[in-house]
Structure 1
Amino acid sequence: MLRTPVYASLALSLLFASSSLAARSYVDGHLHYVDFFQESEGMPALLSAMDKGKVSRAVIMGIPVAKIWQEDEPQKPRYYAGDDAALYWYSATDFELMHAIQALPAKDQQRFIPFLSGINATDKNAAAHLRRALELNPGFWQGIGEVFTRHDDVTALMHGDTPRANSEAMMKVYRVAAEFDLPVLVHSNVTSKRERKPLYLEELEEALQKNPDVKFIWAHAGTSKELHRHQEELDFLRPLLTRLLADYDNLTIDLSWTLLEPYLLDEQGTPRPRWMKLLEDNPQRFVLGSDVVGRFDNLGNILNGFEPVLQALPKSVAQAIAHDNFLALLPKASAEQETSTAKPSEE
């Protein structure tokens, strides 16, 4: 059957999109090796998922808290919000992650960018713990995080004080990060589940102001799944990001999955022009992340879900966000090594 020009054009468009997707390589900037019970599918499952999803490198971290299976609960909860049992700070997550990476062949080890996360963000001793880990394993750790500060129900279930991005404990952590040239991935919710204003912005902004030499990565731009259960969209978020990116050269935005909808894409899955302009105007200030936690089947699907956004951008901007920007945040020695060995993806 002969194709009409319309069908031929559509077929060519689909072929181009498919080939672009097939060629793109991602750096996953936000991946948790374990879940909230410090359990994982393991490295073979993760490497397989990375191969299938065309993820060349992954910023890999533990989770700094663990969920209690409480005595009066007949069934082990499946997630941190599965019941009302508490969470507690869990420092061994870093050592378990390090062991899992070091047990791999050298070529597989090189695919991971390990971040230290096992600190109590309310403890003024946390910086000393970080320093010991860094000095015991020189050159291994490439960043700090995900540090849990304001985090809706995670905060509510935590023992102890409320962690804040501008606390004295965290200011000490930032000084260690600056000394070792390490980026810091911080989760700091911009508001509460009910307030439609940037209720907690001051906490993050003070950290940015007082630590200009620290490379901050703001997880999910202050949003979370739980926030979106109560507020589908924060209307103030895009103008706020526009201002923050203009005011603070040390801020990078982690476009993990909670930013995809309802912000970058509309209800029909179409990229939103104002958000695309924000990305184009700040091409080196955004990174992608899957934010998977210990289970990896959906890794490729999450990152591939950003393809409508990436294909709506200039190729150089898409390449930067999908791959290059996170590598540029690494400590200088690591970044130089990445520049000499990394192969750019083809579009």
Structure 2
Amino acid sequence: MSIALFIGLPVSTVDAREYRYSDAHLHYVDFFQESAGMPDLLKQMSAANVDHVMFSGIPVAKKWHENEPKRPRYYAGDDADAYWYSATDVLIAHAYKQLPAQQQQRFHPFLSGFNPNDKNADAHIQRMLELDPGLWQGIGEVFTRHDDLTALISGDVPRANNEALTRVYHLAAEHDLPVMLHSNITSKRERNPLYLQEIEESLRNHPNVRFIWAHAGTSMEIHRHQKKLDFLLPTLQRMLEDYPNLYIDLSWSVLKPYLLDKQENPDPEWVKLVSRYPTRFMLGSDVVGRFDSLGEYLSGFAPFLDALPEKVAHQVARDNFLAVLPRKVHGGLAK
């Protein structure tokens, strides 16, 4: 069945759609705090019709261990630790400040360089906000439950509902900053929402914080071991009803097997869910320091977007991310 027939629209109507994007999940640096650079990012944004990006670092750095003869290429390249790395935000601020004012309007820096197990984290974030007034527009991506990466990070496993992050959420509410949170809904092996209560408690206890749930609580490693979580869709249906402060990042690990099947056909139940909550979903590439795949990741959502009502499709592709930013930023962009 064609997408047009699937949603009851003429073929010409669907074919005529062109999307402008906001990338709601982008890391300017990789796990070694290196980047292909701003010229390349701008080039790829132009080619991919990306108007705005969530502009963040990586809150940890991967160690090249003394006993490893070859430098790893990714955090999973060997068993060496990763460690919390605050200077990632210095790199983000520096790259942002080099842009002309007109280009800066397209970049929305999120502050991520803190240890979410440290009850000093909120004091660190406050200092960063004071050092660069008006620069930071969100907090995240905050790494809590993150399967194999969690196991490699030095120290205890962070929880979305721990005391340190509770202090961060109070600060986020005070400054009207959205929080992007990576909190897996389960482990690689448990076929139940093992860790759901951690993010759900945070949503319930902090109704004035806009939470962006990275990858809808999933990850590449979960999918590698479990393929598809049958409980994910009904869980999201309930949570979106219960928590008006919950927003969902549909970055690449959610695209398949959830939004699209192997034949690129949209899942009608996901189409129904996104259509029911048209302001609560956004797209992200989740690229990490290299940007060649930016357009490929975002354009990969087109079959799903085409199955949505046109207004909703454009909201998900571009506008919903902008709407979740601080009111002073979103209000200016809306003018």
Q: Judge same fold: TM > 0.5, yes or no.
A: yes
Match of 1:77 among 61, 72, 76: 72
Q: Compare 107-116 and 26-35 and name the one that shifted more.
A: 107-116
Per-residue Cα deviation, 1:75-130 (whole angstroms, up to 9, x for no partner): 11111001000000000000111101111222222210110010101100000000
TM-score by length of 1: 0.92
Q: Give the share of equivalent positions with the same residue, in percent.
A: 62
* Match of residue 6 from structure 2: none
Partners of 1:18 and 1:141 lie apart in 2 by: 38
* Match of residue 176 from structure 2: 181
Per-residue Cα deviation, 1:114-170 (whole angstroms, up to 9, x for no partner): 100101011000000001111121111000000000000111001111101000000
Q: What SS is found at the alignment partner of 1:173? A: helix
Partners of 2:15 and 2:41 lie apart in 1 by: 24
Partners of 1:107 and 1:67 lie apart in 2 by: 34
Shift of 1:301: 0.7
Does 1:311 find its partner at 2:303?
Answer: no
* Match of residue 218 from structure 2: 223
Does 1:322 find its partner at 2:311?
Answer: no
Q: What SS is found at the alignment partner of 2:249? A: strand
Unaligned residue ranges in structure 2 (runs of 5+): 1-9
* Match of residue 289 from structure 1: 284
* Match of residue 212 from structure 1: 207
* Match of residue 235 from structure 1: 230
* Match of residue 8 from structure 1: none
One-letter amino acid matched to 1:260: L
Partners of 2:119 and 2:89 lie apart in 1 by: 19
Q: What SS is found at the alignment partner of 1:145? A: strand
Partners of 1:15 and 1:296 lie apart in 2 by: 32
1:111-150 to structure 2, matched below 5 A, reads 111-150=106-145
One-letter amino acid matched to 1:148: F
Partners of 1:50 and 1:232 lie apart in 2 by: 31
* Match of residue 103 from structure 1: 98
Partners of 1:15 and 1:34 lie apart in 2 by: 40
Shift of 1:257: 0.5
Aligned length: 327
Partners of 1:292 and 1:215 lie apart in 2 by: 23
* Match of residue 276 from structure 1: 271
Does 1:266 find its partner at 2:223?
Answer: no
Partners of 1:15 and 1:37 lie apart in 2 by: 46
Shift of 1:15: 7.0
Partners of 1:273 and 1:108 lie apart in 2 by: 38
TM-align CA RMSD: 1.3
Partners of 2:228 and 2:321 lie apart in 1 by: 26
Q: What SS is found at the alignment partner of 1:269? A: coil
Does 1:58 find its partner at 2:74?
Answer: no
Partners of 1:146 and 1:126 lie apart in 2 by: 14
Per-residue Cα deviation, 1:212-245 (whole angstroms, up to 9, x for no partner): 1000000001100111110100000000000000
* Match of residue 6 from structure 1: none
Per-residue Cα deviation, 1:309-341 (whole angstroms, up to 9, x for no partner): 10000011101111111111111111110110x
Partners of 1:14 and 1:61 lie apart in 2 by: 39
Match of 1:300 among 259, 270, 295: 295
Per-residue Cα deviation, 1:31-66 (whole angstroms, up to 9, x for no partner): 000000100000000000000000001011000000
Match of 1:253 among 241, 248, 252: 248
Does 1:67 find its partner at 2:62?
Answer: yes
Partners of 1:273 and 1:305 lie apart in 2 by: 17
Does 1:44 find its partner at 2:39?
Answer: yes
TM-score by length of 2: 0.96
Question: Residues 14 and 81 of structure 1: is their aligned pair in 2 closer, same or farther, counting only changes over 3 Å?
Answer: farther
Shift of 1:19: 4.2
Question: Which structure: larger Rg?
Answer: 1
